[in-house]
Each structure stands twice: as structure tokens, then as C-alpha cells.
Amino acid sequence: MLINSYWLKKNIKKKNIKVLDASWYLPNINRDAKKEYKQERIPGAVFFDIDDVSDKKSSLPHMLPCRKTFEKKISDLGVRKNDYLVIYCKEGIMSSPRAWWMFKYFGHNNVFILNGGLRAWRQANGRIESGNQKIKLSSYKTGRIKWNLNTTYSNLINYKKEKKEICILDARPKARFLEIDPEPRKQIGKGNIEGSYSLEYSLLDRNGFLKNKSELRAIFRNSIKENHKIICSCGSGISACALAFSLNYISNYAWSVYDGSWTEWYLKTRS
């Protein structure tokens, strides 16, 4: 589930390898991920637009789409059901886990993340291309949806009412969790989900590369209790997936992602 740039260099020309650029930035960051993709990318990569592959009927940002929408959007990217997907982002391992999680949720079997992202590809002297990308459309069909990988607001409310053994981990920067720094979305106030714990996603990597398994286990060991269902949260469901990916990488923890995260929790509990 985690590959390095040297493996990708060796295998990138294989017919069943599909590379996706899933770069994404917070709304208060003055960067355009799609524009940057056109300026420089791994050869053959298609752009996975996290904000576009989403539920457009929801008032919340980039929520999971329905099966039909996902199939249409992924067909437009030329991805086939049996492809080996290699997902990366420009900033190490930040938003690529979000795309990884979505494909896992919709039952795609072979999904990998490029450790270190575009930076690692450059360090391996990988070729860079630019301009528009020609895409041969496909007829993508999802596998069996893994409902257990997603936690909804209703699920979380019920867990709390039933006093189930859960552990909510918040991947936002700790200063946001502690209500020191403001949220990047103007309509969303400071705070955190009651009973949650801070586990800043940046603690999981070193210079854009995921830390080794023993280091990751030590980090999570200090934050979770055995036999508790782990719910990964953040601001809007992006960096939460970095926690989910790391948990999946090191163990068989029972985890899920709270898709709506703090944005939804704030709007629904303070209305």
C-alpha cells in the first residue's frame, strides 16, 4: 500500500499502472492544485480533483459521492477496475490518503500511495511532464462498498449515546484543536468534538515521507486504547485519511473516517 519512487520508475510503463495526482490545499492557502498539476507532474498522471469527485448536493466540502457519481468521475479519468493505482500529492503525504481512502471505500483492491510524493519522484530523477493530459475514457465499476470505513454524523451520535468504546482522533494541527488558531473556513468556529484526542497528522511523516512502522506504532500507542473503534477526524475529512492510511499500514486496527469531521460537527451541534 506504500511504494517508493524507484519502484514506480521501474514499473510506470506497465499497462495496468495508473498514476493519479491528488494534490489539494486548504481554502486559505493561495495555491491552485490543478494549475500546478498542468505545470509539472509524473508522466501519464491524471488529476484526481478531491473537490470535484464529491457529493455536489451536500453543503459540506468534498463529501463522499454516491456510487453512480464516483463511477462517472473515475471513468472520466480513464481508470479501470483492475488497474494498480499509484496516488501522490506534491506535498509528501498530505492529501493522497484521501483519494486512497475513497477508492478503498468503493472496493478498489489495488491502491497504493507514493511515499514522499512528487518530491520523492524528483529525488529519484524521475521525468517531469507538463501541459494538458490526453485521457482515454473507461467504463469504471466499483467493487463492494466498504461501509465500515466511513462514519457519519448519525453514527457518531449513536456511538456516544450507546457509550460504545470509541477513540476519536483529530488530525488537525494541535493549535486548531486547542482553539488557539482559527479554522481555515470562515463560517466554522474554533473547537473540537467532545471526547476527541489530538493527533496532528504531521507527526506521521518526516520531510514528506511516512515514518517507519515502529515509529508509527509508538505514536498511535500513546493515543489509542486496545479494542476501541478508532474514528479519524480533522477539519473536513482530508488529513483524517492520513491517520487512517497509517493505521491500515501498521496493523489491523478497526478504524473509520468521519467524513464530515469538525466542519459538520460544528455546524450541526451549534445550530
Kindly list the catalytic residues.
234
Q: What is the DSSP letter of 213?
A: H
Q: Is 265 helix (H, G, I), strand (E, B) or coil?
A: helix
CA distance 205 to 160: 31
- Helix axis angle for 96-105 and 240-250, nearest 10°, is 70
* Residue 150: closest CA among 226, 70, 215, 86: 70
In sequence order, the β-bridge partners of residue 19 are 86
Q: Which three cell numbers stand for residue 55?
A: 457529493
Is residue 173 a contact partner of residue 200, using CB atoms and an 8 Å limit?
yes
Which residue carries 495526482 as its cell? 21
Other CB atoms closer than 10 Å to residue 211's CB: what's the count? 16
* Residue 198: closest CA among 227, 226, 222: 222
